[in-house]
Amino acid sequence: MNSKPTILVSENKTVFQTPFLEQKWAQYFNVEILDTNKNYNSRSTVVVSDWIDFTKNNDIHERILANNGLRHIIDHCWDSWDSSLDNSADFIIRPRDFIRINESIWYKALGYDKIDLVSYPSRDFLLLMNMKRPHRTKLYNSLYPMLSNNIYSYVENGIPLHNAQDIEYTNDDCWQRYTDPQWYTDTRFSVVAESWTKFNPDINPTRNINVNEKTLKPCAFKHPSIVLGQPETLAWQKRQGFETFEHCIDESYDTIEDEDARFDKVIEQIKYCIQDKTIFNDGVTKQKLEYNYDHFYNEKIVMKLFQEQMVYPLLEFIES
């Protein structure tokens, strides 16, 4: 195919319309707003929808074009595993490392890689929680006696940011990745409350777990972290090329399958780090923080993932 293929989209909610990714996509595809009254070349044009079960609605524009002979792609970049909608499309785009790709490009677009991060901690930890979940409530309750002198939030539980300044916002999408670097420079380490889903071997037989932006944020802001998540969350970090901090804390919690036992081990490590102010203040930790920061923002690595997991599979499908 000599010319660039065309990606047709409608509402502004697919990964092809993400502002900071638009220039990346433009190198390989023409991304256009679909027009049901227009004739398209079915060999070089595909229609993309996001989370739409249009098998149940004949009026959805993507279905109209698919019925007219265009191949249909579902954008499941934010969904790690299969879903009931997979069989309703000709192709599913679901890159395994999307969160790594997206966060690095997004944070660079926000200018976070230009910030001078000089640590001068006056508090022990940073705990940022938004959506209400049972394991986060349990974490909040367990750490409650220690929260008063630390920076924390649990927004859906009615607890806004404490001991730091937040910003007023009108755009939820911008606020969702809004970060004040001072949250990180004012604290010694992050307590990360990851997303937590029950393991389903029928959906994911290889146990290749979900990890979201919460685990990556400390890497982007030169911060050590203790992660309350699913087993092997730290193993996922290492597979991504990041360093963790087993040299100064007990990270065996990452291997514990039992939820209660893993939770208790995480709390134990948090308390240990609060009591000993020298932890995370050693030369090895500082080297790891610099390495993680550089690795997170490494455009060569990120663009290789973008090409291999997103661009090339799409091109191969369209050209097949």
pLDDT (average), residues 103-119 = 94
The pLDDT of residue 80 is 63
Please check whether residue 315 lies inside any domain of the structure.
Answer: no
243 and 163, same structural domain?
yes
Alpha-carbon gap, residue 57 to 66, rounded angstroms: 12
134 and 85, same structural domain?
no
pLDDT above 90 for 39: yes
The pLDDT of residue 205 is 43
**Strands 151-154 and 159-162, sheet pairing:** antiparallel
Show which of 94, 119, 137 is a domain's final residue: 94
Average pLDDT, the chain: 90
The pLDDT of residue 253 is 97
The pLDDT of residue 165 is 87
207 and 260, same structural domain?
yes
pLDDT (average), residues 46-53 = 79
pLDDT above 70 for 54: no
- Domain with residue 139: its CATH number is 3.40.50
The pLDDT-based confidence of 2 (bands split at 50, 70, 90) is: low
Angle, CA 221 vertex, CA 155 and CA 116 arms, to 5° = 125
- pTM for the whole thing? 0.91
The pLDDT-based confidence of 81 (bands split at 50, 70, 90) is: low
Contact status, residue 123 vs residue 186, Cβ threshold 8 Å: yes
Torsions phi, psi of 224, nearest 5? -65, 160
Beta bridge partners of 91: 73
Torsion, Cα 150 156 158 161, to 10 degrees, reads 30
Which of 61 and 263 is assigned the larger pLDDT?
263
Query: For residue range 208-257, what is the model confidence (pLDDT) as tens digits?
Result: 577 889 999 999 999 999 999 999 999 999 999 999 999 999 999 999 99
62 and 142, same structural domain?
no
127 and 65, same structural domain?
no
Scored b (16 or more CB within 10 A) or e, 138-151 reads: bbbebbeebbeebb
Alpha-carbon gap, residue 320 to 248, rounded angstroms: 52
**Domain of residue 124, residue span:** 102-299
Residue 302 CB partners (closer than 8 Å, separation 6+): 100, 101, 104, 105
274 and 143, same structural domain?
yes
pLDDT above 60 for 203: no
Place of tokens 């000709």: 90
pLDDT (average), residues 202-213 = 63
Show which of 48, 64, 94 is a domain's final residue: 94
137 and 265, same structural domain?
yes
Q: What is the CA radius of gyration of the chain?
A: 22
117 and 24, same structural domain?
no
Residue 271 CB partners (closer than 8 Å, separation 6+): 146
- The H or E element containing residue 228 is strand 225-228
Query: For residue range 246-291, what is the model confidence (pLDDT) as tens digits?
Result: 999 999 999 999 999 999 999 999 999 999 999 999 999 999 999 9
Please check whether residue 310 lies inside any domain of the structure.
Answer: no
69 and 133, same structural domain?
no
Please check whether residue 319 lies inside any domain of the structure.
Answer: no
115 and 87, same structural domain?
no
146 and 293, same structural domain?
yes
Alpha-carbon gap, residue 18 to 102, rounded angstroms: 10
109 and 84, same structural domain?
no
3-state helix, strand and coil shares in percent for the chain, rounded to the nearest 5: 45, 15, 40
Query: For residue range 129-177, what is the model confidence (pLDDT) as tens digits?
Result: 999 999 999 999 999 999 999 999 999 999 999 999 887 766 665 667 7
- What is the tally of structural domains in the chain? 2
The pLDDT of residue 237 is 95
pLDDT above 70 for 1: no
**Helices and strands (H and E) in the chain: how many:** 12, 10
Show which of 41, 76, 94 is a domain's final residue: 94
